[in-house]
Each structure stands twice: as C-alpha cells, then as structure tokens.
Amino acid sequence: MLNTHSCRFVKLDSSLQKDIGWRPEAKHLLLVMTDQPSHLALDSKLSGIVVPHDGRCHLEDNIYSQTTTMEHPTIAQLAEKLVENNVYSIFAVDQLQYRWYEDLLDLIPGSYVGRLFPKASNLKDLVVHAYKKLLSDVEVQIGLEDSQAQRFRVSVTALCPDGSTVSGNTKCSGVRPKQTVFFKVTVGMIECPVDGGDRDVVMSVRPVGFNESVSVRIRQSCVCGCAQTGRCRDDPSDCPAETSACRAHRSAAVCSGRGVCKCASCVCDSSRLGNIYGKFCEMDDFSCPYVKGLVCGGHGQCVSGECVCLPGWTGESCDCPVSTESCVSDDGLICSGWGKCVCGKCVCDDARRSGAFCEKCSICYSSCQSHWSCVKCHLSKGLGSDALQLCNHSCAPAVEYVDDITELVRGKYCLYPSSEKCQHRFLMDLASDRPQLHISRHPVCVWSRRYFKTFLSTFLLTVTLGIGMLAVVRQLLRARNCSWQSNPDQQFDHSRKVMRVHLCVQ
C-alpha cells in the first residue's frame, strides 16, 4: 500500500474489512510504503471538523468521502482494528520519516517500522526481517467493555523463556519456536457498578497477530446479604465474621486477592503456573525468578516468593553452582590464578585479561620485565622437572628449558639478571593465545678482572701498533733521504748558473 499524506491511516483502517478475502487461519500482514507522515485525529479542527471518526470504512473509489464532515481515525482506533483483525503492520518509510513512525510502535501492537532505500531496493529483505521479528515477539492484549474498563484494575506480567519477569510487561521478544511464554494476569475491582448488581463481566485475552482469544468471565460480588442496602462497604463492622479472618491485616485484600473466603478460611485459586497456598493464599511456587524458563533455574523450590536452592547451588535464582570445577584451567588452577570463580564462571582480576579461564592477555606479556618473576621462580628451583609444577602459581605462560637459545628464531630475546655478574637469557614466544617462555639452562657470566685485562690488552695492543707504524714511517723517510747521497741530483739555475747539491745528513 503506497499512500499519500491525506488518507494513509484512513486506508489502513479501511483495509481491515472482511472484503479483503483473508483466510481466518492465515497470517495477516499489511505493508505500508510511504515517504510522508500521516494525518491523525484533531488535524481537522482548524477547518471546523469536530465529528469523531466512527471506525467504519468511508472510502469510495479509493477516496475518503468524509473529508469535510468527519475527523481522521485516532491511533487508538487504528490499534483496535489491527488487534481485532489479527493484523501485523509493517511501515516501510523514507529515512526522513523514520522517527515519526517509530514513535507509533508503542501505540500500535504488532507493528514494525523499517527504513526504505531509494527505489525500494531493500523491500524484500525488509519484509522478511520484519516478519521474523514480529513472529518472535509474543504479546497479549487485554480487552474489557468500555463501560466496565474504569471499574477494574488489570495487571499483566509476562514470564519469558529467558527468565525475565517484569511486572507490567505484556511482551516477550526473541521467542524461538517451541518455546512457551506464560502471562500472569491479575484482575482487581476498584468499585461496584452504580446499580449494585452482580452481572458478570467478560474480559478477553488475545495474543497479537493470532486468530485466537480467551474469554475470562469475571464474577463480581457486590450484593452483600448482611447489609440493608445490598452494597458492601470496606468497613470492619459489616460482615466481620466472613472476611476479617481471611485478611493478613486490616488493609490487605481478602485472601491476598488470590482466593475466596469461606467459613472464615481462605480457599486459594488454582493456577496453571503452579500452586497457591498459605493461610491467606500469600504463597505460591511460581513467583520466584525464572532462569531459562524454569522457576529457580530448575535447581530449587519456590517458597513464599523466594528460591530455596538444592544442595550444590546458590544465588537468588539458584543459578550459581557452589562447585568451582568449571573454573579450573588446564594447569589445575582456578581461573589460571588470575581471577575468581563466580557463579561457575571466571571473573578476571585484571581487566586486560580475557578467555574462559582468564588465560588470554595479548598486552600483559609484551615486556621482558613482566616475565622476570616467572624466570626467577624456575631458576630458584634449579630448572628441574619439579620446577614446572612448583612455579605454576607465578607463571601464566608455558615454560620450556633449552640448551641453546640461539637456535630459536621466533620470538623476542630477553635477559634476566640472575646475579650481579651473571644473566640468564630467555625468549618470549607471543604468537599463540597463551605465551610461551624458552629459558636457557646456561647463564652468561662476566667478571670484573676480565674487564680490566681486556681493556689493558686492548690498550697495549693499540699503543704497540701505533709505535710500530711510526717506526716504519720514519725508516721509510730516512731511506728516501739517504738515496740523495749516493746519487746526488744536480739542478742548475739557468738565470744564475748555480749548482745545488743535496747532501744526505746522517
């Protein structure tokens, strides 16, 4: 259905008529595609149109015939028609109008709104996703006659498969096939009818989107035989023998509102959810917290609204095992020694750690110093086979002893100062989820005397080489100068005709 601004909800209201031809057992799905908001009730007041919509179809040739005489339908009227005809409504709207229709979801049961891409390219996926979402939501609607609705107080609590029991919640989301949803409906009468009669009132309980409903007949007791006027009042002087013994205290409801008072004792109602018992029907075995759809998680009994856990279980919902076996890691430690076991699961002491046993920490072992305590423990135990078991409390990574650490090529090389003069080399392998350490069995030691000897020998060698090089250069220069004595080179100055003789100075 692609509608314009003026008659969108009118068409939606009129589309729910029987002439559409829906089969009673079929799922009724109504798709509305639009890029505009819609008119609502009271939009026509500025035009002087004040006649409320009568909830009937007024379309002639796809045109709303009562535009100038009757208001547009209200959201309540629209929701009533949708629930009455078991219709799911899907609003596929433009991005700019998404927020406008999103505000209607809480007012229209069984509705869904989705963003429609340009050219409706995602229409198929939107409808499929909406249909699955609507089927996974289980919601009930309570219906009373308009003339009787103000006299009764109705409270609905949904008992969802995930264990949530929020008072006033009439909807469970994410329900999978073959899962069961329970609804606890409590009805209280605020006042008796004006005529004082005891006419039964029928209340309907209808799941949204399903062609099914349950009619509940409410029997009201407003005619009291002991009162002259035929109308009971909340006064202890009226009928004290019949109700005072059935109240926990003066202002409490008779039999806690869950039973009838007969012969000064409470006869508790029966419930499909469980048993109601107690002197004033104040106790039951189903008002406790639910875990995975089971009362007290199936590990306890509900007594007076509180779970009494079986041996081996604890917690408000009896969902926490006392045993810590599920928290023991492969090294035999609880949470690898880095956390506590809470309700059968590891809670890590360090926020940087993760994993089912707090065994993962990609940044905890990035520095060499973070492994010094582990290396120290293994060195103090002599690097023997017993050290691998004794040092588990201080070593998160797996440890291996090697003779030649230089043969390992993957990892980061580190040094641990085991003493003032010795160091132990180890290698960190962080490639796996759990880091590994490879510790060398042989330390690297250097002594202070050896430092002095090394320096002295280096110094003497440097001086000796320097003196030797100077002697060689000096000897070469002397040999060159002496060559002039044996073969004097005579040079003549042509201008002065003077002969110079170079002599070798011994």
pLDDT digits (tens, 9 = 90+) for 475-487: 888 887 776 555 5
Q: Which tops the pLDDT comparison, 467 or 227?
A: 467
Q: Out of 254-258, 273-277, 301-305, 382-386, which region has the weakest mean confidence (pLDDT)?
A: 382-386
- The arithmetic mean of pLDDT across residues 182-209, rounded, is 80
Tokens 């009730």 correspond to 41
Q: Does residue 501 surpass a pLDDT of 50? A: no
- The arithmetic mean of pLDDT across residues 141-148, rounded, is 78
Choose the CATH number for 368-445 among 3.30.160, 2.60.40, 2.102.10, 4.10.1240.
4.10.1240
DSSP code string of 96-157: GGHHHHHTTTTTSTTEEEEEPPGGGTTHHHHHHHHHHHHHH-EEEEEE--TTTGGGEEEEEE
> What CATH fold (topology level) applies to the domain 291-321?
Laminin (2.10.25)
* C-alpha dist (Å) from residue 341 to 273, 320, 336, 393: 34, 10, 11, 16
Strands 444-445 and 491-492, bridge-based pairing: unpaired
- pLDDT attached to residue 226: 52
Question: How is residue 441 annotated by DSSP?
Answer: S
Per-residue confidence band for 365, with pLDDT thresholds at 50, 70 and 90: low
Per-residue confidence band for 504, with pLDDT thresholds at 50, 70 and 90: very low
* C-alpha dist (Å) from residue 91 to 88, 115, 131: 10, 9, 12
The percentage of the chain sitting over the pLDDT mark of 90, rounded to a whole number, equals 2
- The arithmetic mean of pLDDT across residues 385-404, rounded, is 71
pTM: 0.39
Q: Does residue 85 surpass a pLDDT of 50? A: yes
Q: Out of 9-23, 135-149, 328-342, which region has the weakest mean confidence (pLDDT)?
A: 9-23
Q: Which tops the pLDDT comparison, 361 or 137?
A: 137
Q: Out of 17-26, 450-459, 460-469, which region has the weakest mean confidence (pLDDT)?
A: 17-26
- The answer for residues whose C-beta is within 8 angstroms of residue 58's C-beta and 6 or more apart is 10, 14, 64, 65, 66, 70
- The answer for residues whose C-beta is within 8 angstroms of residue 16's C-beta and 6 or more apart is 30, 81, 82, 84, 85, 87
- The arithmetic mean of pLDDT across residues 350-365, rounded, is 77
Within 391-483, strands assigned E span 398-402, 412-416, 422-429, 436-440, 444-445
Cβ-based burial of 38 (10 A; exposed 0-12, middle 13-18, buried ≥19): buried
Of the candidates 146, 21, 132, 1, the one whose C-alpha atom is nearest the C-alpha of residue 62 is: 1
Helix (H, G, I), strand (E, B) or coil at 416: strand
User: In angstroms, rounded to a whole number, what is the distance separating the alpha carbons of residues 401 and 421?
Assistant: 22
Mean pLDDT for all residues in the chain: 76
- pLDDT attached to residue 197: 67
Q: Which tops the pLDDT comparison, 464 or 13?
A: 464
- The arithmetic mean of pLDDT across residues 41-49, rounded, is 76
Per-residue confidence band for 410, with pLDDT thresholds at 50, 70 and 90: low
The percentage of the chain sitting over the pLDDT mark of 70, rounded to a whole number, equals 78
> Is the CB of residue 72 less than 8 Å from the CB of residue 50?
no
Decide if domain 8-136 falls under CATH 3.40.50.410.
yes
Q: Does residue 357 surpass a pLDDT of 80? A: yes
- pLDDT attached to residue 451: 61
Class of domain 142-290: mainly beta
Using one digit for the tens of pLDDT, what is the confidence trace for 212-270? 788 888 877 776 555 444 555 554 444 445 688 888 888 888 888 888 988 888 998 88
